[in-house]
Structure 1
Amino acid sequence: MPGFFRSLRTFAQLGLWLPLLLLPYLRWNGKQAIMFDIDHSQFHCFNLTVRPDDIWMLMLLALAGSMLMFAVTNIASRVWCGYFCFQSTWVDLFTWIEGKVEGGPSARRKLDDAPWHADKLIKKVSKHAIWLGVSLLTAISFSIWFVDAFEYWNKLIHLQLPRVGWVTLALVITGTYLYAGLMREQMCQWMCPYARFQSVMADGQTIMPSYDINRGEPRGKLRKGDEAVAQQGDCIDCYQCVQVCPTGVDIRQGHQLGCITCGLCIDACNSVMDKIDKPRGLIRYASPDEIEGKLVKKRLHNPWIWVYSSLLLASCLGVVYGLAHMSSVTLNVRPERQPLFVRMSDGSIQNRYEFKLMNKTSKDIHISVTADGGIKDQRIIGSEKPIFISHERGASFTVFVKAPGNNINKAATPIRFHVISQEDSAIEAEYNTVFNGPSL
């Protein structure tokens, strides 16, 4: 059924899923621009590389996405399900393919009821073959988010994928074919957890496709010249709203678990109202309070909107902070605990430190080590020469700090180590720790 919400749903689905399917083929500096590199425990996004020690930013990003979805659900119900969800999008695609191969609903019913013959066999085999082809492309599009896209295609064509690659391919193909082709709305009604807890986030002010019962009842078939027409509501009981619903919900029975807020029933009803010269809006986006004639409050008065918005803002600020303070190298310094210090024969005090340095850049670097604070006349031993760190690799080394015993006036003195690349001064890192000495 064509209409505003049908077009909006199509454009929303294409706007989300086409970029996600095509982005892995984008190259940047000779490498895949965006990739979850599981083999090397890295996430690449153009020039940005996120490693396990920075994974908290991805977690905050996921939290921000969840809070955004919760806030939108509180305002307009299951918008994600109706306009963006993978299951809804692929069911739409599989249903469209089915219609192109087997015809409209009535033609499909006749084909199903007909005995097996050559035309029926060709149509059925063609439909399922195309479904499997789409499932294969879906599985490949999913897999190449985790490996180089072009290398993956080369290995797939030459049947050289590793075992985990074949298993992943088989699982995604089976899942896509089963869920989108065969189960369809059963996934939304019985298996999707979001359908269960979305009712907790909705309230009387949440707008959703709603049937105006005061205007539509009593419903009845359209009959011209009948005296009963004057007492009849605007609903002519045509069942078009039920026919176009992806989950088979009769919206006239009130809001139900199966409603995914896609608005297709609104398009169907409006088209019927246009034909019978009735005003549109018998089914429309409205809140339960509006339909029941209650006072409609402003959304800003809803405390849940403020909760979701605050968590969303905090998550986004956390990600921005992490990106602004992300260094090209990470430094961790561990002072030796056994013993805390060593008294040398000349009376000086020496501390031992274990350095762990990660070079996050794509280039090899040589780093030098310096220290601020600490003890007067202290000397760093073990890093007189620049230390080589391979690209995208870590290195461990030991550094000693030796200071005159007469200059030590407390048991723990703050000291800050600083490492800097000789090739690029912008590549640097600092770490604060203490220099341990004898108690006075």
Structure 2
Amino acid sequence: MNNPDDQPANPGAGQRWEKAVTGAGAPKAAGRKPAPPPAPEPLYEKHQTVHNQRINGPFRRFKWFVMLVTLAIYYVTPWIRWDRGPYAPDQAVLVDLANRRFYMFGIEIWPHEFYFVAGLLIMAGIGLFLVTSAVGRAWCGYACPQTVWTDLFQHVDRLVDGDRNARARLDKAPWTASKLARRLFKWLIYLAIAFATGGAWILYFADAPTLFREFFTLQAAPVAYATVGVLTATTFTLGGFMREQVCIYMCPWPRIQTAMLDEKSLIVTYKDWRGEPRGSVKKAEKKPGAYGDCIDCLQCVAVCPTGIDIREGPQIDCITCALCIDACDRVMKDIGRPRGLIDYATLEDCEAERAGEPPRSAWKALMHPRTLIYSGIWGGIGIALLFALGVRNHTDLTVSPDRNPPFMLLRDGSVRNAYTLKLRNMESRPRDMEIALDGLPGAVLWTDTIAQTDAARSHVLEVGPDQTRTVRAYVAAPSGTARQNFSFVLTSRDEQAEQDSSETLFNAPGGE
């Protein structure tokens, strides 16, 4: 509690002291309450549901094409069959986790060949850089899974609720039995699409017809049901309700892409020097030359799937789907003005066009050094991967020497070392393979299935199709053999006669 003796003697100073201590801004006699503190500024804008309008045009038709192709690839691919012979699965694309294999039509990737997968991922990353540096977020606008499924769900909205104005009215309408029934019907379609999406995903990891039958007869593994449940929930939520919020807030790519764009990148651009000041057709007729080409019809905003106004300039929310170009071109055609008020253009070309130069073709704008460099790197990696696939060996050998003990002395004075060999047959048929010694004069070998009395410089073993056979091998060298390197050589005994070798160490007494 404050001591009254500590208050200033000067009355004016006392009032100031009271204000400072109590925060009172007005005398109590006035009967007013202190003004409340200002509300903190919100960090996030309240979400506004985006109801984009139906539009037709070349970019919309291309978006239809990409959506249909990508969805067909995703849902149909697990059902495509591919004959690899009697010893390999006949599913065209299969991620066989149990046997650690990845099959894609005629290509089979083993765990030790993960560099092929790494190469494909690098190609995907560079391809994304290439597309972004050339035409902005075109990947986001057409082929991103979030965009594809969002587009699909938006078509469901139009099918059930009608076009933009009808959906907006239904949102504002009170909840009635009719609205509830319509919503439940639409959400049921959402759920069916989401379930099909999750169900298709698990078919890539097992034989599709078998897993499909086991799933609906409740015989599949629990992980299959858990995976379908998670993917169904995420597809239903992200595609049905969050939509553009994923692109704007959750996806990191809009922030990353800015480092790959410059004044030479093609992006969807509003040519403000041509469109401003905005005015209706009637105003333009009354005052020729006083208004630009933009009649402020808001069609570019109405068709945008993220609900932005492209006329405000480049924005992080823009996914470069170019539907606003279709809408604006249609309006320009209707009012008899040239197309291209909103168009794919580089900022460099926009400045040149503003100065009166003729517009440059978009194809010419793509031909700048950065695009060519990205294309060269992307193509070079692809050619290197194809070459590696073409010349790769389908026979592989791995050797691991025993560390403890490093060697043993036998009765006759010879020195024996033990090794674990892994003979890999990457063909979809059984093969006879010869394992032989190269170097280490006078040495012989035998295995855990071959008696020591049958020891020789080489032996023939059978390796099953698409299998790795582990062999326990023993190598004995004459007394007095020094510590030295030698090699195991594996040769397939067929028309291919593929060969692989692995150098290792032979330990002996007196070695360092």
What one-letter code is carried by the residue in structure 1 that aligns with 2:474?
F
Partner residue of 1:418? 489
Partner residue of 2:445? 380
Kept in 1: contact 2:264–2:347 (CA 8 A) = yes
Match of 2:115 among 56, 70, 79: 56
Shift of residue 343, structure 1, vs aligned partner: 5.7
Partner residue of 1:43? 102
Distance 1:317 1:412 in 2: 40
Partner residue of 1:255? 314
Shift of residue 146, structure 1, vs aligned partner: 1.4
Question: Aligned residues, how many?
Answer: 435
Pick which of 357-366 and 46-55 moved more. Answer: 357-366
Match of 2:378 among 312, 322, 335: 312
Aligned 1:355-374 pairs, distance under 5 A: 355-372=421-438, 374=439
TM-score by length of 1: 0.89
Change (3 A) 1:400 1:39: closer
Q: What is the DSSP-based 3-state SS (H/G/I as helix, E as strand, rest coil) of the residue aligned with 1:231? A: coil
Match of 1:136 among 177, 195, 201: 195
Aligned 1:7-406 pairs, distance under 5 A: 7-29=61-83, 31-223=90-282, 226-293=285-352, 302=369, 306=373, 308-309=374-375, 311-313=377-379, 315-338=381-404, 340-341=406-407, 348-372=414-438, 374-382=439-447, 386-404=460-478
Kept in 2: contact 1:207–1:285 (CA 8 A) = yes
Kept in 2: contact 1:421–1:427 (CA 8 A) = yes
Shift of residue 424, structure 1, vs aligned partner: 6.3
Q: What is the DSSP-based 3-state SS (H/G/I as helix, E as strand, rest coil) of the residue aligned with 1:144? A: helix
Change (3 A) 1:338 1:235: same
What one-letter code is carried by the residue in structure 1 that aligns with 2:198?
A
Kept in 1: contact 2:266–2:366 (CA 8 A) = no
Q: What is the DSSP-based 3-state SS (H/G/I as helix, E as strand, rest coil) of the residue aligned with 1:230? A: coil
Change (3 A) 1:268 1:128: same
Q: Which has the larger radius of gyration?
A: 2
TM-score by length of 2: 0.77
Residue 4 (str. 1) matches residue 4 (str. 2): no
RMSD: 2.8
Stretches of structure 1 that go unaligned for 5 or more consecutive residues are none
What one-letter code is carried by the residue in structure 1 that aligns with 2:422?
K
- Residues 85-130 of structure 1, C-alpha deviations (whole Å, 9 max, x = no match): 1111111111111111111111222323334444433322221111
What one-letter code is carried by the residue in structure 1 that aligns with 2:490?
V
Pick which of 270-279 and 377-386 moved more. Answer: 377-386
Distance 1:226 1:53 in 2: 73
Shift of residue 244, structure 1, vs aligned partner: 0.6
Distance 1:312 1:226 in 2: 53
Shift of residue 28, structure 1, vs aligned partner: 1.8
Shift of residue 194, structure 1, vs aligned partner: 1.0
Kept in 2: contact 1:74–1:305 (CA 8 A) = no
Shift of residue 426, structure 1, vs aligned partner: 4.3
Distance 2:409 2:219 in 1: 61
Shift of residue 262, structure 1, vs aligned partner: 0.8
Q: What is the DSSP-based 3-state SS (H/G/I as helix, E as strand, rest coil) of the residue aligned with 1:55? A: helix
Kept in 1: contact 2:483–2:505 (CA 8 A) = no
Distance 1:183 1:66 in 2: 26
Stretches of structure 2 that go unaligned for 5 or more consecutive residues are 1-54, 84-88
Kept in 2: contact 1:223–1:229 (CA 8 A) = no
Q: What is the DSSP-based 3-state SS (H/G/I as helix, E as strand, rest coil) of the residue aligned with 1:35? A: strand
Distance 2:253 2:497 in 1: 46
Identity of aligned residues (%): 33
